[in-house]
Amino acid sequence: MYTKEQLESIKRVEATREERLKAVLAGNHPRRMTAEEKEQVLLENHPDHIKSQFAELKIGPNKGEKVPIELAETLQANPRINPADIDLTKIDYDVDVLVIGGGGAGSAAAIMANENGANVMIVTKLRHGDANTMMAEGGIQAADKPNDSPAQHYLDVMGGGHFKNVPELVYKLVNDAPICIKWLNDLGVMFDKEADGTMVTTHGGGTSRKRMHACKDYSGAEIMRVLRDEVQNRQIPVVDFTSAIEIIKDENGKAAGAVLMNMETKEILIARAKTVIIATGGAGRMHYQGFPTSNHYGATADGLVLAYRAGAPLLYAYTLQYHPTGAAYPSQIFGALVTEKVRSIGAQLINCDGEAFMYPLETRDVCASTVIRECRKGKGIDTFNGGQGVWLDSPMIDMIHGEGTIEKRIPAMMRMYLKYGIDMRKQPILIYPTLHYQNGGIKISDNGMSEVENLFVAGEAVGGIHGENRLMGNSLLDIIVFGRNAGINAAAVAKNTTVSDKLNLDHVESFKKEMADAGIKTDKVSPKLLPRYTHGNPVFDEPKAKFMK
């Protein structure tokens, strides 16, 4: 239900709609920005460029580099355990490949490790499948149509990432994309298809070809539930409600397992493995710069902490993706994702004057920055929960493609808003950028291994694939491409690795020493594992200082 003021503003959106619609139907979209205009709007408005929100790392492989304040704090926080207290001779789980994380990347990795003959186990801190993968709505990119090519996809990815992407990783991403779509299709993922089998594909922000494949707006959920089912069919063990809190190494400094903690009983367990795959996902629940997030409850950058302490460098950890269209209203869904597909299939971004102020499918960073600028200019709409937003003119979709399109193509979005008395078929929705994706992460080579031997990484925890900005539909793609890749290679390396009986946590001890030497004193512990929310009600077991201001 909108407020009286918002309903007034909607009238101004409606007043210009017919004219805007006519223009779009005649092929006249709002103008795309020039390269210079994009650069300027990013520099002046994108959160990645707000210097006061970054801190320099004082220790570890990326010492001297700047990362978001909250990330610096968690990377340089105290370990949850004292290594001396941990008995590494009492092995609870002994496997070839240990996968940390039960989302899309972890599941794809486990399936391929199993396929390649490895004894593989998944450990995950919530339920299997509780992950950002489940929430990805829009789709998955692959250049599989005649007017498209992996090279064209490569160009879009590089440009979207501001040419900072690691070329070898982008090569793998675009080259394996059609192969991965076929793999998913053969596992029984229900892609949207025409009657003759042609994939229904659309544009995403920054794409030059329509290569976004989708499963309605449950794309990630459909992929995740099929992968989870396949893991279960293969009877791959999944230890759920158990987090990994440190990597364990062998006498040669290679990754050789992990210290685990039962999330409910806090019992410590030891997993020994020949190779380890970190597939722990992103960091939205760190709420960088106070942004709301579209992410899953468990997205707390755990993998980055584990890897960093083990000595693996990060790449581009300073860059985050703020999705341009988070729900700005009502407050119950503040920060929830409004899929880019809403713009892909025709909705425009409209300011308080009823003006379409930008081409709606610029890349996400440009789009988010322009929305922020519009609100700063006073062209936003009050959300009555302390913020601003702009209109996303969703009724245009059915007007362009025919009645029933919203219901058929974006049913999840429609359902989300209907719950709060807003029918997006009839009324526009209010949006503002939301913290969505960790562009940076752990540095890997194209075999999926980090700079710590036998420590592999897949999915959102990886840095470098997407440069400084990921395109829509390349995350579902990357978890499958690099999840499979890590699973295959971790299984192969495991075959030539002998089990160590000299497990150690020496790197944790030296990290603590490095902290002390650098004069870092903190009461924070990491990995964070879960955020703590109180919705305004104070909780008194937190550090006192917070409530004594």
Subset of 41-60 contacting another protein (CB under 8 A): none
Q: How many residues in the shown chain lie near another protein by CB under 8 A?
A: 85
Interactions with another protein, residue window 259-278 (CB under 8 A): 263-264
Q: How far is the CB of 522 from another protein (least distance, A)?
A: 21
Closest CB 156 distance from another protein, rounded Å: 8
The region of 59-67, 173-181, 422-430, 472-480 touching another protein under the rule CB under 8 A is 173-181
Asked if 532 interacts with another protein (CB under 8 A), we say: yes
Return left, alpha or beta for 199; rule: phi > 0 is left, psi -120 to 50 is alpha, else beta.
beta
Cα separation, 331 vs 10, in Å, equals: 19
**Mind giving me the DSSP string for 331-344?**
GGGTT-B--THHHH
CB of 155 to another protein, least distance (A): 6
Phi and psi at residue 257, to the nearest 5°:
145, -165
Residues 286-305 that bind another protein (CB under 8 A): 294, 296-297
Q: Does 69 bind another protein (CB under 8 A)?
A: no
* The 3-state secondary structure of 20-39, one letter per residue: HHHHHHCCCCCCCCCHHHHH
Q: In terms of CB distance, is 188 or 522 closer to another protein?
A: 188
The encoded tokens of residue 435 equal 């913290």
Distance of alpha carbon 301 from alpha carbon 352, whole angstroms: 37
Check if 323 is active-site. Answer: yes
When asked if residue 167 is in the footprint of another protein (CB under 8 A), the reply is: yes
Q: Which residues contact 149 (CB under 8 A, 6 or more apart)?
A: 143
**Token couple for 258:** 């992990």
Q: Return d(Cα 281, Cα 300) in angstroms, integer.
A: 8
- DSSP symbols for 126-149: SSTT-SHHHH--S-EE---STT--
SS3 category, 75:
helix
Contact status: 405 vs another protein (CB under 8 A): no
Binding to another protein, residues 143-162 (CB under 8 A) = 143-147, 149-151, 154-156, 158-159
Annotated catalytic residue within 343, 409, 484, 507: 343
166 is an interface residue for another protein by CB under 8 A: no
Nearer to another protein, 261 or 310 (CB): 261
Residues 322-361 that bind another protein (CB under 8 A): 331-333, 336-337
Closest distance to another protein from the beta carbon of 278 (Å) = 20
Relative to beta strand 140-141, strand 212-213 is antiparallel
Site string for another protein, 220-239 (x = CB under 8 A): xxx--xx--xx-xxxx----
546 C-beta neighbours (distance < 10 Å), count: 9
Q: Is there a catalytic annotation at residue 128?
A: no
Interface segment toward another protein; rule CB under 8 A; list 88-96, 201-209, 369-377, 516-524? 201-209
421 binds another protein (CB under 8 A): no
Q: Judged by CB under 8 A, does residue 27 bind another protein?
A: yes
Cβ proximity of 497 and 269 under 8 Å: no
Nearest-angstrom CA–CA distance, 297 and 498: 37
Q: Please identify which residue in 22, 63, 193, 376 interacts with another protein, judged by CB under 8 A.
A: 193
Query: Is 537 one of the binding residues for another protein (CB under 8 A)?
Result: yes
Specify the DSSP element, H or E, that contains 273: strand 268-278
Question: Which residues within the stretch 359-398 sit at the binding site for another protein (CB under 8 A)?
Answer: none
